[in-house]
Amino acid sequence: MKLTLDQLQKITRGAVSVAEQDGKFHFYRFTEAQKKAYETTSPNDFYRKSFASAGVRFNFRTDSTKLAFNYEFGYGSSREYAYFDLYINGALEKHFGSDGNACRGGSINIALPAGEKTLELYFPWSRSTVLSNVELDDGATIEGISRKYKMISFGDSITHGYDAQYPSLSYASQLAQNLDADQINKGIGGDIFFPALLDEKEDFDPDFITVAYGTNDWSKCPRETFEKNCTEFYNRLSSLYPNAKIFAITPIWRGDGFRKVCGFGSPVTNVHPMIAEICKDLPNVVVINPYNFVPHRPEFFADLRLHPNDFGFGLYAKGVYNEIIKHL
């Protein structure tokens, strides 16, 4: 049987909306207002990245013996690869997708074990993903699964997922798994503190919020702009979600972090005390310094200096999780 929009909405996690157009299903992690804000300020970069399916996943129980669908990839990052991860009963069983010139789409038909099982399908973080002809066995059962908590994760490329090969192993995905939380990933590669994302409250009431900007602000913005944007962002966030536990995660190590960049004027390590000072009087904000969570060695970074690889992401997620649970 081909799944309907209603059925897909019930099993999709990590998307603020799912829409159908001409028999194809689109998954959005930003609200219309947030996409409009990016379209106004960065139409050829951040706006296009907002369509990436980072953090989107199916999570459901079924007795079907197959899962099949067609997929198409669009722009969502500067990376020319896109992969799905399929977990069956909690174990990673399938990793598939495409890269290079072939990174446009394809189809998949997966044989599943007999009997009832849980399926968790992670979408690519690096591209927008459009599905069609999503099929299970005729008459198969299908029941969406939710995790215990809800969370929103704001951030730049590292939250977005750069440069995980396995989408389920990105830092943001692993952190949400460890916290048992359904997560909306708001990461955008290259982004800085952007208060316009918080012009209105979303129809998603989070228990936890993580915010991990700063490394791009440090390299791009004058100190005064950085301080203004950061202050406004955290003040808005704290006011919009007074009952959420908010974790301000300052930058991790970067290979060029000791430069005195034009505008900021000091190494990236000085970002942490600035954010800590800005957030000190906000009662629901806890500041976490992850600078040493990922070893300061190139082999833990996909690009050798900035974006963790899957191994580095695991250490990053573990470190952040260990700090967060101290406050839960």
Tens of pLDDT, residues 132-171: 999 999 999 999 999 999 999 999 999 999 999 999 999 9
First to last CA, the chain: 43
With tokens 């953090």, the residue in question is: 55
At 215, is the pLDDT very low, low, confident or very high (cuts 50, 70, 90)? very high
Mean pLDDT across the stretch 172-185? 98
Q: For residues 276-290, b (16+ Cβ closer than 10 Å) or e, as one string?
A: eebbeebebbebbbb
Q: Which two tokens stand for residue 44?
A: 């050829």
CA dist., res. 198 & res. 236, Å (int): 7
The structural domains of the chain, with segments of one domain joined by +, span: 5-144, 149-327
pLDDT of the residue at 8: 98
**pLDDT tens across 91-100, in order?**
999 999 988 7
Q: How far apart are CA 181 and CA 243, in angstroms?
A: 16
Find out whether the peptide bond into 163 is cis, omega within 30 degrees of 0.
yes
Q: Are strands 245-249 and 285-288 parallel, antiparallel or unpaired?
A: parallel
| pLDDT (0 to 100) of residue 46 | 98
CATH code for the structural domain at 5-144: 2.60.120.260
> Across the strands, what pairs with 142?
62
User: What's residue 100's pLDDT?
Assistant: 74
Could you tell me what percent of the chain has a pLDDT over 90? 94
pLDDT of residue 261 exceeding 80, the answer is no
Average pLDDT of the residues in 290-315: 97
What is the C-alpha separation between 225 and 217, in angstroms, rounded? 8
Mean pLDDT, rounded, for 38-55 = 98
Lowest-confidence region among 84-88, 100-104, 252-256, 302-306: 100-104
* pLDDT score of 260: 79
Second-level CATH architecture of 149-327: 3-Layer(aba) Sandwich (3.40)
Q: What distance separates the 2 farthest-apart alpha carbons in the chain?
A: 63
Contact 82, 97 (CB under 8 A): yes
Q: Percent of the chain beyond pLDDT 70?
A: 99
In this prediction, residue 265 carries a pLDDT of: 80
- CB-based contact 262:287 (threshold 8 Å): no
Helices (H), the chain: 5-11, 32-41, 46-49, 157-160, 171-179, 215-220, 223-240, 271-279, 310-324
How do 57-62 and 117-122 pair as beta strands? antiparallel
Q: Which of 152, 148, 125 is nearest to 313 (CA)?
A: 125
Say which amino acid occupies 117: K
To the question of pTM greater than 0.95 for the whole model, the response is: yes
Confidence of residue 226 (pLDDT cuts 50, 70, 90): very high
Question: In sequence order, what are the residues at sequence separation of 6 or more whose Cβ sits closer than 8 angstroms to the Cβ of residue 96?
Answer: 83, 84, 86, 108
Q: Tell me, what DSSP letter sits at residue 100?
A: G
Look at residue 189 and tell me whether its pLDDT is greater than 80: yes
Distance, CA of 154 to CA of 211 (rounded, Å): 5
